[in-house]
Amino acid sequence: SQTIHQWPATLVQPVGSPLSLECTVEGTSNPNLYWYRQAAGRGLQLLFYSVGIGQISSEVPQNLSASRPQDRQFILSSKKLLLSDSGFYLCAWSIAGGVGNTIYFGEGSWLTVV
């Protein structure tokens, strides 16, 4: 069966510091991968999605970036964090291609920028 792991689970970072969140998927090949952000009490905002190694689509302009160095690895980064970057970050995957593909979420990472 497929599993998705995301880390770290929580982190507190000062403004201006870098960020790296990592996610790996097991049990499937060539998945679609996603990074979402959820602000407190709000819905899910799609930040990035990837259909293959090195292929990243950005949904919203921001100071975050994503990379997919391996088929089942997805990384969210920032060079300098802003206070507004605080939130709940979720990595997710779905089967590639077609429609009706369910999105499955990792455990999430709570980021507090202070």
Q: What is the DSSP string of 46-75?
A: EEEEEEETTEEEESS-SSEEEEEEETTEEE
From the list 2, 70, 101, 112, which residue makes contact with another protein (rule: CB under 8 A)? 101
- Two tokens, residue 105: 């979420």
CA count, 13 A, side-chain hemisphere, 20: 3
CB closer to another protein out of 26 and 107: 107
CB of residue 28 vs another protein: minimum separation in angstroms? 16
CB closer to another protein out of 17 and 94: 94
Q: Tokens 């090949």 sit at which residue? A: 29
From the list 23, 90, 111, 113, which residue makes contact with another protein (rule: CB under 8 A)? 90
Spell out, one character per residue from 4 to 43, where the chain touches another protein: x when CB under 8 A holds, - when not: --------------------------------------xx
Task: Choose the stretch contacting another protein; rule: CB under 8 A; options: 18-26, 67-75, 76-84, 105-113.
Answer: 105-113
Which residues contact another protein (rule: CB under 8 A)? 42-44, 46, 49, 90, 94, 99-108, 110
